[in-house]
Amino acid sequence: MADPIDVFENLEWFLTQEAFVKYTAVAMITLLAYDTIISISDEINNIWEQHWSLGKALYLLARYSSFIDIVPVLWYTFTASSTHKASP
């Protein structure tokens, strides 16, 4: 049978790690939004007003695909159930 103190320490460690992951996800999204906002005027002048090319398509794909990736990351991070089990 597991010692109650060990179970509590395992639970405390797990909850700390889970909160860290959630805070990191929110910080990542905040930085991405901030970067997009501060560079949008340069991007409009240098990218959006140009003719379509392979470089423009690759830039836009790389730049904005991260916004699509955020949705499943947030969904999983904030809705995943805690399935941690203390070791015996």
pLDDT tens figures, 27-81:
988 999 999 999 999 999 999 999 999 999 999 999 999 888 888 888 887 887 5
Containing H/E element for 26? helix 4-43
Tokens at 30, concatenated:
């905040």
* In contact, 86 and 7? CB cutoff 8 Å: yes
**How is residue 53 annotated by DSSP?**
-
Per-residue pLDDT averaged across 2-31, rounded?
77
Q: What is the pTM of this model?
A: 0.64
Residue 70's SS3 state is helix
- The 8-class DSSP code of residue 49 comes to T
The pLDDT score that the predictor gives to residue 49 is 92
Helices 54-79 and 4-43, packing angle to 10 deg: 150
Read off the pLDDT band of 5 (50, 70, 90): low
